[in-house]
Amino acid sequence: MNKLILVCFAGMLTFTSCNRNVGAVFGKKKDKLEIVDPQFEYFSAKAKFRFDDGDKGISATANFRIKKDSIIWISISGFGVEGARVLIDTENVFILDKLKKHYYEYTFEELSEEYDFDFNFKMIQSVILGNLVEPYKKQRVEKKDNYFTYTASKGVYLFHNFIGASSMKLEKVKVFDEATRNTISVNYSDFILVDGQIFPNEILAVIDYEDDKKPNTEINISYNKMVIEDSPISFPYSVPNKYEKK
């Protein structure tokens, strides 16, 4: 299992599936753009997952479990056999390659250095759920076609956000690294209601490297089941003794 599957958690249109009163564009104090983010403590989902980095293509089934703002757990399987398991907490990323019997451990600092992008827990969680990575802070908002758009900056990164005028959900985001000139573009579509909370059913992410020696990477997540859990769920992860650290 290619360890580059990790990028799908970073760096991942029309609101027709439900009727919901999204209210005004801004809050009463005009200082907060009213984006409808899902609220939950525990969440689980099953999805079809496709990854293509130009050299290798992977099609698999991915099972997600999330404890909000704390833990993300992913199991990736193909043909009914689990090939990889990933555990992400607020500081580290742990990966089991169950096919090659290898395991990987990264701090977010190490992961960011290896892939030339500033990965962190909040970014990964936001991409999976379709939330804003960088919140609105009174930036100038423009109405373009069917979107409200604004740009936020953090360090060397520019976040170009496109919020659906009908859905009031993030439908597109482009993250530009001014240092490396790399770009991550994520598109969200086919929004549905899950226990009264709005989630995107389809996520398409493309990582565009300025360096021509690095082929672009494309990741697609297509959910077919999402559940807001009523009680705590488990996040099983352990490294067998015979596995080799890479």
Let me know if residue 242 belongs to a domain: no
Let me know if residue 181 belongs to a domain: no
Q: What is the CATH number of the domain that holds 215?
A: 2.50.20.10
What residues make up the domain containing 58?
3-18+40-134+189-228
Q: Which of 160, 188, 155 is nearest to 173 (CA)?
A: 160
Let me know if residue 8 belongs to a domain: yes
Burial of 226 (0-12, 13-18, 19+ CB in 10 A): buried
Judge whether 101 and 242 are in contact, CB under 8 Å: yes
> Tokens standing for 68?
């909000």
Let me know if residue 48 belongs to a domain: yes
pLDDT of residue 145: 85
Q: Which of 15, 36, 13, 14 is nearest to 25 (CA)?
A: 36
Let me know if residue 33 belongs to a domain: no
pLDDT of residue 30: 53
Mean pLDDT, to the nearest integer, of 86-94?
A: 96
Find which of 36-45, 76-85, 93-102, 109-118 is predicted with most confidence, using mean pLDDT.
93-102
Let me know if residue 97 belongs to a domain: yes
Taking only the tens place, the pLDDT of each residue in 204-230 is 999 888 877 778 889 999 999 999 999
Q: What percent of the chain has pLDDT over 90?
A: 46
138-142, 161-165, 181-185, range with the lowest pLDDT: 138-142
pLDDT of residue 25: 52
Indicate the average pLDDT of the chain.
83
Q: What percent of the chain has pLDDT over 70?
A: 85
Let me know if residue 104 belongs to a domain: yes
pLDDT of residue 14: 25
pTM: 0.80
Q: How many domains does the chain have?
A: 1
Which residue did the predictor score with more confidence, 172 or 17? 172
Query: How many Å apart are CA 153 and CA 118, to the nearest integer?
Result: 13
Query: How many Å apart are CA 51 and CA 92, to the nearest integer?
Result: 22
Tally Cβ neighbours within 10 Å of residue 194: 18
Let me know if residue 157 belongs to a domain: no
